[in-house]
């Protein structure tokens, strides 16, 4: 019986302008940072903070996110490779077996979170002149919104996928099973120019799809969870007095966001790391537990600041 809800996902890499390719993954990062800046501007307006500080915050956050996410992937998930290829940690190139432009294919959200917290400490001391928890309580709102689009970018890239499933929500990730060149060689069908393959009914493509298993779209599960996280934080800040309890929003963010990550990991394929040594849980779950515990601490011990 044909599953009418099943999705065959075989997107192009991006929007081809002829002279330049706008990759969907990069576009999602741009949307994430752009929306984050807009949300934070609204918060700064409400808190009567000068826009000049927001510009500094934006620049610091962008660099902290990208650098932290990259180093997080290197040290948490793929140190065995990068310890022998240190030049590739910060360079988007591979030198062996031959020179190749790879981009930054590994980014870890846990590393980004650590880097943002460290960066916000220096930002609060040197620029904002506010307590660190005050800064974190406000910055987690746009960070939660950005996490949504990062996972959508992973979906476009057909990466961070889930286990095989017969669920009606399963997705056939063609690009995970076959590269674009392999798919074209097998079917003689040119690479698609839009997000969805327009000729899915072609017999050659149909034969190719029979080899592609249906998998949990773990990226979409996480994105949906992060929408809820963002909505809760947004409501708390704009509609309640909970924002007055310094550390409460930050703690709520840590508990909710990393709980979503912890739960989705149960249907997600292994991303590598140290899970084989510890067993039981995945690397992502082990890394999420400390964030969740710290979050509960701030929720229970948050207090009301003296407003200045």
* Token pair belonging to 46: 């409400």
Chain segment 63-112, per-residue pLDDT in tens: 999 999 999 998 888 888 888 878 778 776 676 666 666 666 678 899 99
Give percent of the chain with pLDDT exceeding 90: 54
Burial of 165 (0-12, 13-18, 19+ CB in 10 A): middle
Q: Report residue 208's pLDDT band, with 50, 70 and 90 as the boundaries.
A: low
Helix (H) or strand (E) segment spanning residue 152: helix 132-156
Q: Is the pLDDT of residue 163 over 60?
A: yes
Q: Is the pLDDT of residue 185 over 60?
A: no
Q: State the average pLDDT over residues 268-279.
A: 84
Q: Which position has the higher pLDDT, 295 or 169?
A: 295
Q: What is the predicted pLDDT for the residue at 173?
A: 85
Q: Is the pLDDT of residue 139 over 60?
A: yes
Helix (H) or strand (E) segment spanning residue 24: helix 24-47
Q: Is the pLDDT of residue 5 over 70?
A: no
Q: Report residue 205's pLDDT band, with 50, 70 and 90 as the boundaries.
A: low
Q: Tell me the C-alpha distance between 150 and 193, whole Å.
A: 22
Q: State the average pLDDT over residues 30-55.
A: 95
Q: Are 266 and 280 in contact (CB under 8 A)?
A: no
Q: Is the pLDDT of residue 193 over 80?
A: no
Q: Is the pLDDT of residue 142 over 90?
A: yes
Q: Is the pLDDT of residue 182 over 90?
A: no
Q: What is the pTM of this model?
A: 0.86
* φ/ψ of residue 23, rounded to 5: -75, 140
């Amino acid at each position: 019986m044909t599953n009418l809800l099943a999705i065959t996902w075989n997107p192009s890499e991006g929007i081809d302008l002829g002279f330049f390719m706008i990759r969907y993954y990069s576009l999602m990062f741009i949307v994430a940072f752009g929306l984050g800046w807009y949300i934070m501007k609204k918060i700064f307006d409400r808190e009567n903070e000068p826009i000049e500080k927001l510009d500094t915050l934006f620049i610091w956050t962008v660099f902290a996110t990208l650098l932290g996410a990259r180093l997080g992937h290197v040290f948490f998930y793929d140190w065995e490779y990068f310890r022998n290829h240190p030049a590739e940690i910060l360079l988007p190139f591979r030198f062996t077996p031959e020179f190749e432009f790879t981009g930054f294919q590994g980014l870890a959200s846990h590393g980004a979170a650590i880097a943002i917290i460290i960066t916000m400490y220096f930002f609060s001391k040197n620029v904002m002149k506010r307590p660190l928890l005050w800064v974190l309580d406000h910055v987690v709102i746009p960070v939660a919104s950005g996490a949504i689009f990062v996972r959508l970018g992973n979906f476009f890239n057909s990466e961070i996928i889930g286990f095989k499933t017969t669920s009606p929500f399963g997705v056939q990730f063609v690009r995970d099973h076959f590269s674009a060149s392999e798919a074209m060689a097998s079917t003689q069908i040119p690479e698609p120019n839009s997000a969805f393959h327009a000729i899915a009914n072609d017999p050659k493509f149909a034969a190719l799809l029979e080899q592609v298993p249906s998998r949990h779209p773990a990226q979409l599960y996480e994105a949906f969870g992060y929408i809820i996280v963002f909505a809760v934080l947004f409501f708390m800040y704009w509609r309640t007095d909970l924002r007055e309890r310094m550390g409460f929003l930050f703690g709520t963010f840590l508990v909710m966001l990393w709980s979503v990550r912890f739960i989705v990991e149960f249907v997600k394929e292994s991303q590598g790391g140290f899970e084989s040594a510890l067993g039981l849980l995945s690397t992502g779950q082990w890394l999420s537990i400390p964030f969740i515990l710290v979050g509960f601490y701030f929720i229970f011990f948050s207090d009301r600041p003296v407003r200045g």
